[in-house]
Structure 1
Amino acid sequence: MPKPDLHAKKVMFCVWWNFKGILHYELLPSNQTITSAVYSAQLERLAQALREKEPALINRKGVILHHHNARPHTARITAEKLRQLEWEVLPQPAYSPDIAPSDYHLFRSLQNFLLGKKFNNEECLKNALTEFFASKSQEFYNRGIKMLPERWVQVVENNGNYIVD
């Protein structure tokens, strides 16, 4: 007899945010992984969200994207999409979650919020995410972005070793 599924179903969560708050997020279908084509399509939807939420940013061509060096983020298709959007990419060393604001700030807080919660369906999860994002002030997001230069200094002072919080 097969054993019941002992592990909860995991959902890939992709989020883009700035110092004001959440710009766009997506939950990927359970059978989908991030490829350069998927990521490029996400960037197009992010661009649409920016046109709606931050038109001044788009109009002055001032988007600076900070993402890590995962293969889909550095692939030719993605690079072409970023050129098309005229977005600048802030360099990020490989395997450096300690200097990625989503990892050291947003996801840590989200993980604490979700701790022990179980969701029966994707709609319940989306409602919880909406609740979490709404519970955070603009100062929360601002602080996460403004911590980045401090984190860079810590990495240099640690000779490139991970920052342990």
Structure 2
Amino acid sequence: MASPHRTDWRFYVFIRDEARRGESLEDDPRTGRPSTSRTEENIAAVRRMIEENRHTTIAVISDDLGLSTGSIHTIIHEDLKMRKVCSRWVPHLLSDDEKMRRVQCASAILTEFGPDGHKRITDIVTGDEKWFYFFQVPHKRQNMVWLGEKDARPTVVKGGFRSRKQMFIVFFSSTGPVSVVTVPKGQNVSATYYTETALKSVVKNLEKTKPTRLASGKVHLHHDNASSHTAVKTRQFLEESKLQLINHPPYSPDLAPCDFWLFPKLSEKLAGINFQREQDLARKINAELRTISDCEYSECFVKWMTRLQKCVNLRGEYVEGV
């Protein structure tokens, strides 16, 4: 009977000789299921499902194609180079004519007040109406606090539709606030009220700060297309006061300095404060307008010009979120 050690020795010699002859001891490759699901056929199927329904999910695609969610995730992100993002909210679905109008207005303002324009940004006064709540709900990020392991999560009362509110008409320029009008409760901002109260206040203050520019017709007024702003009575008042009107395109809050800068800034400063009286709210708004530096007001108008140029470049599309 051969020694077990001798048998083992012969076996190892056999393996050594086979290796020297370059013969592999591994199994020959066999046909069968591919080791990956990232085939051209599967990639095309995933692309087709996404194009048919842009809201579809990885789980739905996985169930329909019989592939793992990991494979679908890899195909979408690495092979198709796609990502899922939230839709962009816009104030209005712009028609082609409205986009063209936005481009025309933006181009006209840039021609006059842009870097190569012949008019001064400091001669522009812009304004609008705005409802301010007696209690402005803070943004979620303003309510974030650090908590210990056993600390209870704080609560904040959210203001409902019954919250008291007050309308203000605010005008400002690149050097600071020009006029703030508190609209009495129940008062409708008609063309008559707008001209005889709001715009007369603007003109009165401009006569103190820019008498020469106003008298020579070099001060320009910008506001949106609210009915009281576009009324015949309002246009007649602007002519008589020698205020030059800057045309504003319809459905364009993204191109109005009050909407994209001043009012959001004021709302953030008022957030979390509970006002009991109209006078307190008005006093706070006036105080906050004065605390904004001249540099910030000036930068707002520079941002406005940048937005106008972006609108032109985008052929009239909304500039926010792009």
- TM-score, normalised by the number of residues in structure 2: 0.48
Counterpart in 2 of 1:7?
162
1:94 and 2:250 aligned: yes
Counterpart in 1 of 2:187?
32
The separation in 2 between residues aligned to 1:155 and 1:27, in whole angstroms, is: 33
Secondary structure of the corresponding residue to residue 223 of structure 2: coil
Match of 1:129 among 285, 300, 303: 285
Shift of 1:111: 1.2
1:17 and 2:166 aligned: no
Amino acid at match of 1:122: E
Amino acid at match of 2:260: Y
Q: Does the 8 Å CA contact 1:98/1:163 hold for their aligned counterparts?
A: yes
Counterpart in 1 of 2:220?
64
Amino acid at match of 2:165: K
Counterpart in 1 of 2:37?
none
The separation in 2 between residues aligned to 1:134 and 1:152, in whole angstroms, is: 27
1:142 and 2:271 aligned: no
Q: Does the 8 Å CA contact 1:13/1:27 hold for their aligned counterparts?
A: yes
Q: Could you give the per-residue CA deviations for residues 47-74 of structure 1, whole angstroms, max 9, x where no partner exists?
A: 0111123323323321100100111111
Secondary structure of the corresponding residue to residue 147 of structure 1: helix
**How well do the aligned residues superpose, as a CA RMSD in angstroms?**
1.5
Counterpart in 1 of 2:204?
48
Shift of 1:163: 2.1
The separation in 2 between residues aligned to 1:34 and 1:48, in whole angstroms, is: 19
Shift of 1:161: 2.2
Counterpart in 2 of 1:161?
317
Structure 2, unpaired ranges of 5+:
1-159
Structure 1, unpaired ranges of 5+:
none
The separation in 1 between residues aligned to 2:239 and 2:215, in whole angstroms, is: 16
Q: How many residues align?
A: 161
Secondary structure of the corresponding residue to residue 178 of structure 2: strand
Secondary structure of the corresponding residue to residue 12 of structure 1: strand
